[in-house]
Amino acid sequence: MLSPSEFRDIVSGRRIGPTAAVLRTGLRLAEIPYATLMRARNACYDRGVLRSLRVPASVISVGNLTVGGTGKTPLVEWLVGWFRDRGVRVGVVSRGYKARDGAPNDEALELASKIPELPHVQNRDRVAAARQAIDRDSCRVVVLDDAFQHRRIQRDLDLVLLDALEPFGWEHVLPRGTLREPVSGLGRAHVVALSRADAVTAEQRAAIRARVRHLAPAADWIELVHQPTELIAAGGRRRSLESLSRRRVAAFCGIGNPDGFRHTLDTLGCQVLGFRSLPDHFGFPRSEVAKLAEWVEGLADVDTVLCTRKDMVKLECDRLGSRELWAVSIGLVVSHGQESFERRLQSLLERDAGTRAARTPDI
């Protein structure tokens, strides 16, 4: 079975040779029925054969065009903070992918660690989950996490993130590339957000934006920068990023796009002597934690180990072997298009207020 990094090396074309070519051919054949199914499903929704259901709240979807990590959780956190700052009750709804026995999954745990008492309902039936957030938690705004392809629930705003490091999935739908659906689906988006915009040049950003303008001419365009803010240990201790200056570290992550974490590490001024990428939503069983500790102990000059907060909430330990373990906390900055983006969000509030006033009888 291919590891995430091996899969990306093959579908991107970075791996060459006869074996890689044969694998790409096989993946291309498997892509055809999946892409056909996604086109047919989208056509059924577009033509009203399949219906989307409305819930009595403003609904914002945050999703991807590709598989893997594009930075959805920091954007969900930013949106929740924006509405809470304006006194609006907001909740998050997600499928709960890779949650075990009804427990919160890693994204839910990460959000809970950052925003205590945030209503977060996980349910494969996201219509039922949204209604629960509205009825039980009195939410006026529901943020759907990872829901661009989930079209059963109507949304008032569709936000789609493109990772600047691999925005269009190498032009192929799964499993030949990393697209969840054909790129034409981007036309449904109201806002397209380029995440990790600082990881590419201005010319590359302009090329991506031109492609998006062709695919989704009515969509707003924003650019996001994921900035590391501090180091956090499992027990809650905090340390400044400056403490990593010239440090020799090892790092690992179990996220969809490990290159994004590598890019973050490159900005911290430390020397990465070892890096391991694990499958997305990795559960960290004890046997694997022991293997990680053994790997770290074998790196003689390393004194600190780094991971993401998504990993830390599942590990819940301050050390890996004899080395200190710290998570890199990430904050989000809207580096381009924030004014127009906030106007869209404000219009949702005004429409919600108007709808509520219309429902209230005169006294």
Least confident of 88-102, 158-172, 234-248: 88-102
Q: What is the C-alpha to C-alpha distance for residues 163 and 198, in angstroms, rounded to an integer?
A: 11
CA distances from 194 to 187, 205, 309, 316 (A): 15, 8, 22, 31
Q: Of 3, 13, 5, which Cα lies nearest the Cα of 176?
A: 13
CATH architecture type of domain 58-226+333-359: 3-Layer(aba) Sandwich (3.40)
pLDDT band at 164 (very low <50, low <70, confident <90, very high): very high
pLDDT band at 137 (very low <50, low <70, confident <90, very high): very high
pLDDT at residue number 32 = 97
- Taking 90 as the threshold, does the pLDDT of residue 198 lie above it? yes
Which of the pair, 357 or 283, is modelled with greater confidence? 283
298-350 pLDDT, tens digit each: 998 998 999 999 999 889 899 998 999 999 999 999 999 999 999 999 999 99
Percent with pLDDT over 70 in the chain: 96
pLDDT band at 363 (very low <50, low <70, confident <90, very high): very low
Domain ranges within the chain, ordered by starting residue: 58-226+333-359, 227-332
Q: Of 38, 340, 352, 71, which Cα lies nearest the Cα of 188?
A: 38
CATH architecture type of domain 227-332: 3-Layer(aba) Sandwich (3.40)
Which of the pair, 342 or 99, is modelled with greater confidence? 342
Angle between helices 338-359 and 72-85 (to 10 degrees): 50
Tokens for 9, please give them.
């090396």
- The reply to whether 58-226+333-359 and 227-332 are identical in fold is yes
Over range 211-234, report the average pLDDT: 96
The single-letter code of the amino acid at 258 is: P
241-272 pLDDT, tens digit each: 999 998 999 999 998 888 889 989 999 999 99
The single-letter code of the amino acid at 221 is: W
The secondary structure element, H or E, covering residue 141 is: strand 141-145
16-64 pLDDT, tens digit each: 999 999 999 999 999 999 999 999 999 999 999 999 999 999 999 999 9
Helical H runs in 100-164?
106-114, 126-137
